[in-house]
Amino acid sequence: MSTIAFLFPGQGSQSVGMGKELAEMYPVARQTFDQADAALGFPLSELCFEGPEEKLKLTEITQPAILTVSVAAWRVLREKGIVPAFAAGHSLGEYSAHVAAGTLSFEDAVRTVRHRGRYMQEAVPVGEGAMAAILGMPLEELSKVCAEAAQGEVCSPANINSPEQIVISGNARAVERAAELARQRGAKRAILLPVSAPFHCSLLEPAQEKMAHDLAQLQFHAMQIPVACNVDAQLVDTPDAARDALIRQVTGAVRWEPCMRLLIAQGVATFAEVGPGKVLCGLLRQIDRSKTCLNAEDEASLQKTIRHLSAAKTGAA
């Protein structure tokens, strides 16, 4: 039987209508949305199911919305007897991974990521920060480009997503200079991203301090499975290590490609992206095409994943 890891998506994977079909078909999914609405004190489920898109795109709404859809899909898989050996989540998705690992209660996680979204938004005035996706430039070269372009401002790799894609973050002018310099030095493409804040760089230090305070108040439980943490690309399996990694990831880079290589080295051959979108499956294809990546976001994809994983469990696949 192949070793399975669940992957949980981060911001950018949201879309109006996400989770609606699962909530209509599975009581445990409906219950998840009801829990989120109660924990937050407003109808998050309506925003997921009906929009409007403008509101769903607000960071402090997006983060709890994606977490809720991801946890709803995970709970359906768990009811069907699909249990992973490992979990990982991209940025915000690391909170979903910790709900799946039993580290955090769902209610605590959904409230915490709403605050996380707000703190990140407030840390840098709109327009002062930026992010850009750089395609086709190795990390070592791009790190030099960032250092050169900074000119006393902040500019650094923020998401090390795959061998082909790294996102940089920092002060808007510095990121623009770095994008231009990357193009001149042979990057295939450099695309400024439509984001509301410069995530995963030192400009978010005020947000990290607030998250450290919030996370210190929460109860972290014994973990049922290890989680590959973004900031170190190492497995965490204790509550204290989990809390520390979640604090540091606010300003630290998301080391996604190293996380995936770590899980592959642990013997994971089958990955399931649990929650909205297929971004992480796309990145995995760029990292290692020999591995299987399924997804679970609606009834069709869920059934396909359950069939595949059930067959794998019995040795038929």
- What is the structure's pLDDT at 126? 85
Tell me the residue type at 301: S
Q: How far apart are CA 170 and CA 151, in angstroms?
A: 12
Please compute the mean of the pLDDT values over residues 16-32 and round it to a whole number: 98
Please compute the mean of the pLDDT values over residues 141-160 and round it to a whole number: 98
Top pLDDT among 12 and 46 is at: 46
Cα dihedral 87, 202, 161, 272 in deg (nearest 10): 20
Please compute the mean of the pLDDT values over residues 18-47 and round it to a whole number: 98
Top pLDDT among 141 and 195 is at: 141
Q: Assess whether pLDDT exceeds 90 at residue 103.
A: yes
Please tell me the class of the 129-195 domain: alpha beta
Return all residues near 308 (Cβ < 8 A) that are at least 6 apart.
Answer: 270, 292, 294, 317
Q: Assess whether pLDDT exceeds 70 at residue 63.
A: yes
Per the annotation, the verdict on 91 as an active-site residue is: yes
Nearest by Cα to 76 from 124, 25, 127, 110: 25
Q: List the catalytic residue out of 91, 96, 162, 196.
A: 91
Quote the radius of gyration of the chain (alpha carbons, Å). Answer: 19
Beta-bridged to residue 292, according to DSSP, are 270
What confidence tier does 153 reach under pLDDT thresholds 50, 70, 90?
Answer: very high
Per the annotation, the verdict on 90 as an active-site residue is: no
118 with 62: CB under 8 angstroms? no
- Digit-coded pLDDT (tens) for 225-279: 999 999 999 999 999 999 999 999 999 999 999 999 999 999 999 999 999 999 9
Say which range, 111-120, 189-198, 236-245, 296-305, has the weakest mean pLDDT: 189-198
Alpha helices in the chain (DSSP H): 20-25, 27-40, 44-50, 53-56, 59-79, 93-100, 106-123, 139-150, 172-184, 205-217, 239-248, 256-265, 279-287, 299-314
Please compute the mean of the pLDDT values over residues 62-80 and round it to a whole number: 97
Count of beta carbons in the 10 Å neighbourhood of residue 267: 11
158 with 199: CB under 8 angstroms? yes
- What is the structure's pLDDT at 194? 86
Please compute the mean of the pLDDT values over residues 57-69 and round it to a whole number: 95
- What is the structure's pLDDT at 80? 94
- What is the structure's pLDDT at 310? 82
Domain boundaries, the chain: 3-123+203-314, 129-195
- What is the structure's pLDDT at 224? 98
- Digit-coded pLDDT (tens) for 186-235: 999 999 998 888 999 999 999 999 999 999 999 999 999 999 999 999 99
Please state which architecture CATH assigns to domain 3-123+203-314: 3-Layer(aba) Sandwich (3.40)
Q: How far apart are CA 51 and CA 20, in angstroms?
A: 11
- What is the structure's pLDDT at 196? 81
- What is the structure's pLDDT at 1? 56
- What is the structure's pLDDT at 316? 40
